[in-house]
Homo-oligomer: A and B are copies of this chain.
Amino acid sequence: MPRHKPLTQDPIAEAKRQWTANGWQHAANGMAAVTSVMRAQQLMLAQVETALRPHGLSFARFELLRLLGFTREGRMPMASAITRLQVHPTSVTNTVARLVRDGLLRREAHPEDGRAAFLILTDEGRKVVEQSTASLNGVFENLGSSVSEITTLVGILARFREGAGDFSPPRPVPDPL
């Protein structure tokens, strides 16, 4: 992890001040939000990658393994993984190739659809995913934010993601009539 010179004040608060001073008041809040999310992501990713490095995984690789690990038999069609992870098909091909190279995953032909591929966790892969999940949970349990802050954060970002077209709501209130 890179060690940066600690700043004596919040650079985002400073940027917001400058945005306002330049007459961009209407954009200042949004700028602060976007910059905050970018920076928080960097910090979180650094912690996550530190926890995963001993297991030989990146976060992208972990996410795919974790998905497989949640299925009953440790197998899933490629297409499902692509949809669920919301990434580009070639990125998944790439991620899978590395996991196969490391012996954590196997690729098999789909029994019915000759175009499709099945991803299958190896025994080693199953072991790694459980161990790395345990390491990651240590990070997740120590973010330094309160439960109520975290709940609020997740809610706000869920509404943002939905507004950005990330998913359709599950209609928590079923249609009356």
Which residues of A are in contact with B by a Cβ distance under 8 Å?
A: 2, 4-13, 18, 24, 26-34, 36-41, 43-45, 47-48, 59, 70, 82-84, 86-88, 133, 136-137, 139-145, 147, 149-154, 156-170
Interface of A is mostly: helix
In-complex Cβ contact of A166 among B2, B31, B43, B151 (8 A)? B43
In-complex Cβ contact of A145 among B31, B152, B156 (8 A)? B156
Asked if B12 contacts A158 (CB within 8 A), the reply is yes
Complex formed: what's the CA distance from A106 to B34 in Å?
28
Complex formed: what's the CA distance from A34 to B170 in Å?
22
Contacts of A6 in B (CB 8 A): 165-168
Complex formed: what's the CA distance from A84 to B4 in Å?
10
A-B contact pairs, 22 of them (CB 8 A): A2-B88, A4-B83, A6-B168, A7-B84, A7-B168, A9-B167, A11-B86, A18-B70, A29-B147, A29-B151, A31-B136, A34-B44, A34-B143, A36-B154, A37-B44, A37-B153, A38-B59, A43-B164, A47-B164, A143-B163, A145-B163, A149-B160
